[in-house]
Amino acid sequence: MNVLGIESSCDETGVAVVTLASPATAGAGTGAGGGPIVWPRLRAHALHSQVAMHEAYGGVVPELASRDHIRRVLPLTDEVLAEAGLSRADIDVVAYTRGPGLAGALLVGAGVACALALALDRPTLGVHHLEGHLLSPFLSADPPEFPFVALLVSGGHTQLMRVDGVGQYALLGETIDDAAGEAFDKSAKLLGLGYPGGPALSRLAQQGRGDAYALPRPLLHSKDLDFSFAGLKTAVAVQLRKLGPAPTDVERADLAASTQAAIVEVLVRKSLDALKRTGLKRLVVSGGVGANAALRAQLDEATRKRGWRVHYPELSLCTDNGAMIALAAAMRLQTGIATARPDYAFDVRPR
């Protein structure tokens, strides 16, 4: 079974095909029923990033994003099918991101997916964007096994979850204000770095000292698994004001490194707390901030000491992509928790 996946929730158009070898249900992917589970295989994926287009505005302009998705999605679909050696008729299910994301951008992906499915007389399946991120490490060379703790760190979300199988997600904690990605992006903006801020800030941080400025670690010692990052950007703004109108390159690099150190310390501590509380030994990290090298290094070190494992998606699949949407749809179908339907009256869920 070939599942086409279309992602258009924000500023990347992503299309992919995955092939499901064993459509037998397997107890929500827990391995119940015996034998190792063969998860769907990625056949091809293609991505167009709109970063260059939005850069001039310092952030994503929703209207421009929607219009660009319209331009890209069909050519990317043809590209992916050609790379996989498939024709449109070989598509068995058309999956798309139903939300969360920008309403207009989501409508483009959903509309094209449903029109394509209607024309081909195939069923459709809407997918939750975060489930795509959550399951994306199953496309890596070293996929995790259930159960695990998931740290989902994207531009809009910061959540810790207990994951017992496909569709079996229990929220352990989440941010009460800004997401970790937002903390990176907003601090980067204050430092005069471009958009998206996360990668830019982490590059500048490489040249600085993480202990140069004492920035707050919000909720580090709270008894729950929640996060709060809104105060951090305020602290960065205050520190910048103290440095005066023209901070030196060293001061800017030190502030970037100190900001990153604060975010990473909180993410690592809370992830370890979640593992301790659940008694689980596997951590899965996904979403754009999961690409951060400092976060990966510190999580690897902290977990290795304790004999725990961390799984990440391939670096190229940390940020938004179509592969994770096709995969999440295929895993839902494989485990029997969702059915693709000839449902072309699509809806999207921005929030």
Binding site for Fe cation: what residues are annotated?
A: 129, 133, 320
Q: Site map for Zn ion, 303-332, x if CB under 5 A?
A: -----------------x------------
Cα Dmax for the chain: 65
Under a CB-based contact definition with an 8 Å cutoff, are residues 121 and 150 in contact? no
154 binds Zn ion (CB under 5 A): yes
CB of 273 or CB of 320, closer to ligand KG4:
320
Cβ 38 to ligand KG4, closest distance in Å?
27
Cβ 155 to ligand KG4, closest distance in Å?
3
Which residues contribute to the annotated binding site? 129, 133, 152-156, 185, 198, 292, 320
Peptide bond connecting 100 to the previous residue in cis, omega within 30 degrees of 0: yes
Q: Which does 289 bind (CB under 5 to 8 A by kind): Zn ion, ligand KG4, none?
A: ligand KG4
Which residues contribute to the annotated binding site for substrate? 152-156, 185, 198, 292
Residue by residue, DSSP assigns 99-121 as ESS-HHHHHHHHHHHHHHHHHHT
Q: Which long-range contacts (CB under 8 A, 24 or more apart) does 273-276 make?
A: 273/225, 274/149, 274/151, 274/160, 274/162, 274/172, 274/173, 274/225, 275/149, 275/303, 275/308
Reference 295, options 306, 283, 307; nearest CA is 283
Rounded-to-integer distance, Cα 328 and Cα 276, Å: 28
Cβ 5 to ligand KG4, closest distance in Å?
15
Rounded-to-integer distance, Cα 149 and Cα 174, Å: 13
Cβ 154 to ligand KG4, closest distance in Å?
3
CB of 21 or CB of 297, closer to ligand KG4:
297
- Please name the residue that has the structure tokens 């056949």: 43
Residues at the contact surface with ligand KG4, assessed by CB under 6 A: 10, 133, 154-156, 181, 184-185, 196-199, 202, 287-289, 291-292, 319-320
286 binds Zn ion (CB under 5 A): no
Q: 305-320 burial, b if ≥16 CB within 10 A, otherwise e?
A: eeebbbbbbeeebbbb
CB of 10 or CB of 20, closer to ligand KG4:
10
CB of 40 or CB of 156, closer to ligand KG4:
156
Rounded-to-integer distance, Cα 256 and Cα 245, Å: 17
Number of residues that bind Zn ion (CB under 5 A): 2
CB of 154 or CB of 228, closer to Zn ion:
154
Cβ 8 to Zn ion, closest distance in Å?
11
What are the tokens at 314? 């391939």
CB of 2 or CB of 154, closer to ligand KG4:
154
CB of 273 or CB of 320, closer to Zn ion:
320
Q: Pick the piece of the chain touching Zn ion (CB under 5 A) from 115-123, 154-162, 174-182, 300-308.
A: 154-162
Cβ 289 to ligand KG4, closest distance in Å?
4
Q: Which does 181 bind (CB under 5 to 8 A by kind): Zn ion, ligand KG4, none?
A: ligand KG4
Q: Which does 198 bind (CB under 5 to 8 A by kind): Zn ion, ligand KG4, none?
A: ligand KG4
12 binds Zn ion (CB under 5 A): no
CA distances from 225 to 201, 303, 308 (A): 26, 18, 19
Helix and strand numbers (H, E) in the chain are: 10, 10
Question: Helix H segments across the chain?
Answer: 51-55, 62-84, 103-120, 129-135, 180-190, 197-205, 230-243, 249-278, 293-306, 323-334
68 binds Zn ion (CB under 5 A): no
Which amino acid, 228?
S
User: From the CB of residue 351, how many other CB atoms can be counted at a distance below 10 Å?
Assistant: 7
DSSP state of 29: G
CB of 2 or CB of 9, closer to ligand KG4:
9
Cβ 194 to ligand KG4, closest distance in Å?
10
Binding residues for Zn ion, per CB under 5 A? 154, 320
